[in-house]
A and B are shown apart, each in its own frame.
Chain A
């Protein structure tokens, strides 16, 4: 049975239990004394390790996605010939393939090796997870940056060229700084999506936050809601804080606008 299926079933059972208890006047299991929070806290470190993997996968994938996706978006706007075609085909293929399939291909078909960083080594499954999530994110990020670059008025590039900047320099110093600012809302979305999609690395045997939560409540089915709520809270805190941080970044670099203009 699929994880999602089991999860839904377990959640439904737990909700059913809540409903029947409420019917006889007892407090719902997830807020009353009967709630199994103690089980959750006993296993907090187990979930914590999962959360660390989730954060690591997210940061590495978003970073890889940016490093590949930004130039890819620029090639789609400013490139031509076979490079532009290759980039846009790669993007279409990556966006059109389910993430589970991408991860399985990375792990089982491409066979990414384990990476030794001296102090720590990254298992081949983690490497495959980062590559799969990162390249897919690159495909999505490329479209965010393509839209942002295209939205900058053509007169900006022309003015840059008119003072003697090369095309590359004019794009870099005039268009890119404006496009990056405009891509922030789309980038916030993408960050949130990647964060939550890291859970799909269960397909290549990795146990991050959600998978570890699933392991826990499969073991103790009375604590399904508690575990799910606890995990959701962690996702929420991660999403909320990073989005706020990116909002701050956007405010900090906002271009001043006049009152009348």
Chain B
């Protein structure tokens, strides 16, 4: 563990009431890294992700982002979130706004851009995710894959230094997963720092610098994808990967 890690999660613990959902979770990322969190449902991976932008509150531990303590009570969470983009499993697009409106809202209201500049930025970002032809479509008029790409564009429009993906393809029909993964591959190529919760093992295998396997709120094992997928040290990791593989 070096002092200049871009993101350093150290001994993070969280409880819902008496139930501990995260127990001393630790991992680190460098700028430009892609880290993939995997694990069975209920293992705490989504909760861990949400602790990074404080949509969930960790009770113990430390999360240093670019040298700043994310868990500090003095931290302005709105300042944190404008630098950390998030993509949701259920898209959560603003239902009353067009694709352009969805993407422009942050630049307009958070960054203080003019309507024209925010609209222009929205168009650029929608073009980036391949939706230049859907600027005026509303969420209900889009396919799942298109919705999620708008969700990615919405996060990118804030020019984040870290992107969080919370099971971005889990709510999609199988034939729509590819277009979202393609956009994510593009971001990897551009050097975006990404922390991804996903069940897409092929994506993890192809782009992850590190894969972290969580079970019952604990890090069971972590390492480069080649090692973790081919030669897991822990029996539990192997069993989980076999279960996932048998569904593919």
| Interface of A toward B, CB cutoff 8 Å | 153, 155-156, 158-166, 169, 173-174, 177-178, 181, 255-258, 261
Contacts and interface: CB of A to CB of B under 8 A. Distances in A.
A162 B90 CA distance: 14
8 contacts: A153-B92, A155-B90, A159-B86, A159-B94, A165-B106, A174-B94, A257-B141, A261-B141
Contact of B92 (A159, A173, A178, A255): A159
B128 interface: no
Nearest to A260: B143
6 closest residue pairs by CB, A with B: A164-B82, A159-B92, A258-B141, A163-B106, A155-B92, A257-B140
Nearest to B111: A164
Contact of A255 (B88, B105, B138): B138
Interface string B97-141: 000000001100110000000000000000000000000011011
Contact of B82 (A159, A160, A163): A163
Nearest to A155: B92
Contacts of B154: 159, 163
A163 B95 contact: no
Contacts of A255: 95-96, 138, 140
Nearest to B164: A162
A160 B94 contact: yes
B38 to A, nearest CB: 22
Contacts of B93: 159
Contacts of A156: 92, 94-95
A256 B95 CA distance: 9
A59 B136 CA distance: 36
Interface in B51-68: 53, 55
A77 B118 CA distance: 31
Interface string B70-100: 0000000111011001101010111110000
Determine the interface band of chain B, counting residues with CB < 8 A from chain A.
Answer: 20 to 34
Nearest to B154: A163
A178 B93 CA distance: 12
B158 interface: yes
B91 to A, nearest CB: 8
A164 B78 contact: yes
B172 to A, nearest CB: 14
A165 B78 CA distance: 6
Given A163-B155, A164-B82, A158 B55 contact: yes
Contacts of A162: 53, 55, 81, 85-86, 88, 155
Contacts of A163: 81-82, 85, 105-106, 110, 154-155, 158
Contacts of B138: 255-258
A256 B141 CA distance: 7
B244 interface: no
Contacts of B137: 256
Contacts of A153: 92
Counting chain A CB atoms within 10 Å of each CB, the highest count among B77, B78, B85 belongs to B78
Counting chain B CB atoms within 10 Å of each CB, the highest count among A156, A178, A256 belongs to A256
A5 B106 CA distance: 61
A150 to B, nearest CB: 15
Given A155-B88, A160-B94, A258-B141, 10 more contacts: A155-B90, A159-B92, A162-B86, A163-B85, A163-B105, A165-B78, A173-B109, A255-B96, A256-B141, A257-B141
Contact of B96 (A158, A164, A178, A258): A178
Nearest to B144: A261
A162 B96 CA distance: 17
Contacts of A159: 86, 88, 92-94, 154
A255 B141 CA distance: 10
B142 A165 contact: no
A156 to B, nearest CB: 6
B95 A164 contact: no
A164 B82 CA distance: 5
Interface string B15-55: 00000000000000000000000000000000000000101
Contacts of B158: 163-164
A181 B141 CA distance: 18
Nearest to A157: B92
Nearest to A257: B140
Contacts of B55: 158, 161-162
B55 to A, nearest CB: 6
